[in-house]
Amino acid sequence: MTARLLTPYDFGLVAFGTVVVTFGMFLSDGGVGTALIRRPEPPKKSELQALVAFQLGLDVLVVVGVGLAMLPFGLLAVCHRVEQEVLIPALAALPGVDLSVLVEDVDTLLAGDALSTPGVVDVREIPHGRRHPRIFGVYGRLAPGESFVLVNNHDPKPLRREFQATYPDRFGWDYLEAGPERWRVRIGRLPVDA
Go through the domains of the chain in sequence order and give each one's CATH number. 2-93 (no CATH), 99-189 (3.30.110.40)
Q: What is the pTM of this model?
A: 0.49
- Spell out the SS3 assignment of 18-83: HHHHHHHHHHHHCCHHHHHHHCCCCCCHHHHHHHHHHHHHHHHHHHHHHHHHHHHHHHHHHHHHHH
pLDDT digits (tens, 9 = 90+) for 79-125: 778 877 887 787 777 766 677 777 777 778 778 887 777 789 899 98
| Three-state secondary structure call for residue 192 | coil
The residues of the chain scoring below 70 in pLDDT are 1-4, 24, 27-33, 36, 95-97, 193-194
Instruction: Give the per-residue pLDDT at 187.
Output: 94
